[in-house]
């Protein structure tokens, strides 16, 4: 099995433009929105971080932590967002390792629990996430909200 490099963006801030572009391409959210959140993190305005998995110089997985992931429950914060692993790299535990990294990093800073909105069932439970409730986001149908204590 190949060895990948897992980092918090603060460890390699010089790749923030590349990271923002990568997330934009995966999710369609404007690059500027990612850059703004990453700048807040890199400047120390927030501990809500950005976590990446690299294969050499290539980003193959990532996720962020933001205050709210486009839902009406502002009390359920912060939120893990934009979880993505490139299709050729799936089923190797990359997303799980990134999720664990984010949970641990924020826990060491006194930030717990974390929340996550998804339509997936069965995936996040493998990594200690528990279904909490349904929340209304931008889609007509409610989404599943998970929590990790």
pLDDT along the chain (149 residues), means of 10: 91 98 97 97 97 97 96 96 97 97 97 95 94 92 96
Amino acid 1: pLDDT: 63
Amino acid 37: pLDDT: 97
**5-112 falls under which CATH superfamily?**
Gcn5-related N-acetyltransferase (GNAT) (3.40.630.30)
Could you identify the residue written with the tokens 């664990």?
100
Amino acid 132: pLDDT: 97
Q: What share of the chain is helix, strand, coil (3-state, %, to 5)?
A: 35, 30, 35
Cα dihedral 52→55→56→62 (10° resolution) = -10
Question: How many CA atoms, within 13 angstroms, populate the side-chain half-sphere of residue 77?
Answer: 13
Distances from the Cα of 113 to the Cα of 52, 128, 147, angstroms: 21, 12, 7
Domain boundaries, the chain: 5-112
- Distance between first and last Cα of the chain: 31
pTM confidence score: 0.94
């Amino acid at each position: 099995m190949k060895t990948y490099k897992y980092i918090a963006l603060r460890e390699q801030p010089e790749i923030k433009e590349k990271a923002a572009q990568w997330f934009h391409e995966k999710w369609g959210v404007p690059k500027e929105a990612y850059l703004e959140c990453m700048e807040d993190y890199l400047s120390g305005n927030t501990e809500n971080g950005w976590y990446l998995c690299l294969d050499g110089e290539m980003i193959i997985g990532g996720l962020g932590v933001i205050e709210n992931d486009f839902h009406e429950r502002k009390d359920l914060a912060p939120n893990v967002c934009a979880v993505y692993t490139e299709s050729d790299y799936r089923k190797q535990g990359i997303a799980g390792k990134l999720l664990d990294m984010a949970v641990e990093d924020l826990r060491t800073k006194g930030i717990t629990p974390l929340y996550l909105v998804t339509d997936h069932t069965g995936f996040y439970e493998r990594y200690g996430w528990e279904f909490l409730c349904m929340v209304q986001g931008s889609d007509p149908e409610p989404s599943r909200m998970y929590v990790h204590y």
